[in-house]
């Protein structure tokens, strides 16, 4: 006889061929919760179990009646039919609900401590807290669907607690899992652009957002929407002291509402926006209305492309990865850039190794679309770059000598765009989402711009005019693309 609630629930799901997403929508629980109910690692709360089983009973009964599977139901679930008439759908739903309720109260132990009728867990001591949080984050990242995960915390991005959290996420993140982490950032006299840039580069497989956490200074927390929350105390030495946490959906939502009430409109210094939203909002076209620009290109070089190459990119993505909004944005930018690059003052910065990688492989990310230029397209690109620089002497090209200075390797993780009043970064590693990180706080904008100042102060780059750049490109094209010789 099937006695375990988890085993019984899984048997009903398999018997009726019901998808987890159908149950999730009906129950208003994430599929990861239902997966845990089936595996026995977690069960619904006693407070919610009757409503959950009523809903499950109705769904399973409807499927059984539709498939005319009552006889198989009696046999599979060991129900004695003697003296029992065939059940109507309502009667069957009640029968299934009763079976589920009986199994729930007869079977598994509660994995959490009951506090005030709700499921809360508590741990004390740095080791226990870190061990438990590491296990929870690992499970939330690895188990369940590959849906985007938004992790909201008010730990400062440079704190040891935040490093602990980021290290766990980085270790267990799957390649196709989009994870965004919102963390605190404090502006003070110690603010350092290179420190922040290095941190973002170290965790470039994640999307990191930064916001002002001063309204939340009385406590420390992690919230993952509709999945989990934890509330911490920190000792005088900055170590984890205690944690109280829960997976209970009602408690998670209650805690999220509490946080949201304190910061209904978070003051973001750095905010991620996905590529399609960027394209549909005309963000880039507005960005390029200025007359002075600085670009740091760590991945490819999508600027100064000849028109025929832009047409190739558009044509190849009509039925490919690019959305219609992104394709229209590329077409619009081609017109804007053609006028812009005639008179604008533009400084291009590029690590030498990034230039060589582009010359060898041809990968770029134009807006949110990844594209690989063929050797002949690259040759036309080089020629067009030189032509544009000769037509506009205010276009300057600077190569960062990252071969000579190990500390400069971090300049390859992001493409940095700055027009004097606006700033955003592109992360080529997030190929699935093609997000950009928009800098919304002027202080952080100044901080990122100072990156280029630090390069100049360290004599870390060499300036190239049209003639010297043409000579360099000709020399290395013979190495990376000898067939063009």
Tell me the C-alpha distance between 466 and 407, whole Å.
Answer: 28
As given in the structure block, the two tokens for residue 452 are 């280029």
- DSSP-based three-state secondary structure for 110: coil
Cβ neighbors of 429 (< 8 A, separation 6 or more) are: 204, 205, 413
Which pLDDT does position 306 carry in this prediction? 94
Evaluate if pTM is beyond 0.75: no
396: nearest Cα among 318, 328, 473, 468: 468
Which pLDDT does position 410 carry in this prediction? 58
Tell me if 293 sits within 8 A of 419, measured CB to CB. yes
Tell me the C-alpha distance between 384 and 468, whole Å.
Answer: 15
- Sign of the C-alpha dihedral, residues 4, 7, 13, 19? positive
Tell me the C-alpha distance between 157 and 136, whole Å.
Answer: 20
36: nearest Cα among 152, 127, 119, 150: 119
Alpha carbon dihedral 79, 81, 82, 84, in 10-degree steps, equals 120
Which pLDDT does position 110 carry in this prediction? 40
- DSSP-based three-state secondary structure for 30: coil
- DSSP-based three-state secondary structure for 63: helix
Which pLDDT does position 341 carry in this prediction? 83
User: In order of start, what are the domains of the chain with their CATH numbers?
Assistant: 5-107 (no CATH), 121-266 (3.30.870.10), 284-480 (3.30.870)
Residue in this structure with the two tokens 């239902």, named with its chain if needed: 34
Return the percent helix, strand and coil in the chain, to nearest 5: 50, 20, 30
Which pLDDT does position 193 carry in this prediction? 62
Tell me if 420 sits within 8 A of 446, measured CB to CB. no
Cβ neighbors of 207 (< 8 A, separation 6 or more) are: 178, 179, 180, 181, 272, 427, 430, 433, 435, 437
Which pLDDT does position 464 carry in this prediction? 95
As given in the structure block, the two tokens for residue 481 are 């693309």
- pLDDT means per 10 residues, the chain with 485 residues, are 75 92 89 86 77 92 90 82 71 89 65 51 90 91 78 94 94 80 80 74 89 89 94 90 92 91 89 82 85 90 94 81 75 86 91 93 88 95 96 94 64 82 83 75 79 73 94 92 66
φ/ψ of residue 297, rounded to 5:
-110, 105
Cβ neighbors of 4 (< 8 A, separation 6 or more) are: 40, 103, 107, 108
Strand partners, 221: 231
Q: Long-range contacts: 304-311, Cβ < 8 Å, 24+? A: 304/337, 304/341, 304/381, 304/384, 304/385, 304/388, 305/366, 305/381, 305/384, 306/380, 306/381, 306/383, 306/384, 307/334, 307/338, 308/380, 309/373, 309/377, 309/380, 309/381, 310/334, 310/366
Which pLDDT does position 401 carry in this prediction? 84
């Amino acid at each position: 006889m099937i006695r375990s609630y988890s085993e019984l629930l899984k048997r009903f799901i398999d018997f009726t061929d019901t998808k987890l997403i159908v149950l999730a929508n009906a129950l208003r629980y994430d599929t990861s919760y239902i997966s845990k109910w089936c595996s026995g690692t977690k069960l619904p709360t006693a407070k919610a179990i009757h409503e959950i089983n009523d809903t499950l009973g109705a769904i399973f009964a409807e499927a059984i009646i539709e498939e005319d599977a009552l006889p198989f139901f009696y046999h599979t679930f060991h129900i004695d039919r003697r003296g029992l008439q065939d059940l109507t759908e309502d009667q069957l739903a009640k029968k299934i609900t009763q079976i589920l309720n009986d199994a729930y109260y007869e079977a598994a132990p509660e994995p959490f401590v009951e506090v005030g009728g709700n499921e809360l867990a508590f741990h004390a001591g740095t080791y226990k807290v870190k061990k438990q949080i590491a296990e929870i984050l690992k499970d939330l990242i690895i188990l369940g669907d590959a849906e985007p995960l938004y992790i909201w915390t008010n730990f400062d991005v440079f704190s040891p607690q935040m490093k602990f959290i980021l290290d766990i996420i980085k270790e267990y993140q799957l390649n196709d899992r989009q994870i965004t982490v919102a963390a605190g950032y404090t502006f003070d006299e110690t603010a350092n652009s290179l420190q922040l840039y290095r941190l973002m580069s170290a965790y470039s497989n994640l999307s990191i957002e930064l916001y002002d956490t001063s309204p939340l200074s009385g406590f420390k927390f992690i919230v993952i929407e509709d999945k989990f929350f934890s509330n911490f105390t920190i000792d005088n030495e900055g170590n984890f002291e205690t944690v109280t946490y829960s997976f209970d959906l009602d408690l998670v939502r209650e805690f999220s509402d509490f946080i949201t009430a304190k910061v209904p409109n978070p003051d973001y210094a750095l905010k991620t926006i996905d590529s399609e939203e960027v394209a549909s909002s005309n963000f880039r076209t507005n960005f390029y209305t200025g007359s002075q620009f600085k670009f740091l290109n760590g991945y490819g070089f999508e600027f100064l492309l000849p028109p025929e190459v832009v047409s190739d990119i558009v044509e190849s993505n009509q039925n490919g990865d690019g959305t219609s909004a992104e394709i229209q944005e590329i077409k619009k930018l081609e017109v804007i850039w053609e006028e812009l690059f005639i008179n604008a003052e533009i400084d291009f910065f590029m690590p030498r190794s990034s230039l060589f990688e582009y010359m060898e492989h041809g990968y770029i990310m134009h807006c949110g679309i990844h594209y690989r230029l063929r050797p002949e397209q690259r040759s036309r690109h080089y020629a067009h770059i030189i032509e544009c620089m000769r037509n506009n002497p205010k276009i300057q090209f600077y190569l960062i000598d990252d071969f000579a200075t190990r500390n400069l390797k971090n300049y390859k993780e992001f493409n940095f765009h700055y027009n004097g009043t606006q700033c955003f970064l592109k992360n080529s590693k997030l190929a699935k989402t093609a997000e950009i990180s928009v800098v919304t706080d002027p202080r952080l904008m100044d901080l990122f711009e100072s990156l280029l100042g630090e390069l100049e102060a360290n004599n870390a780059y060499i300036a190239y005019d049209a003639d010297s750049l043409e000579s360099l490109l000709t020399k290395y094209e013979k190495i990376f693309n000898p067939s063009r010789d």
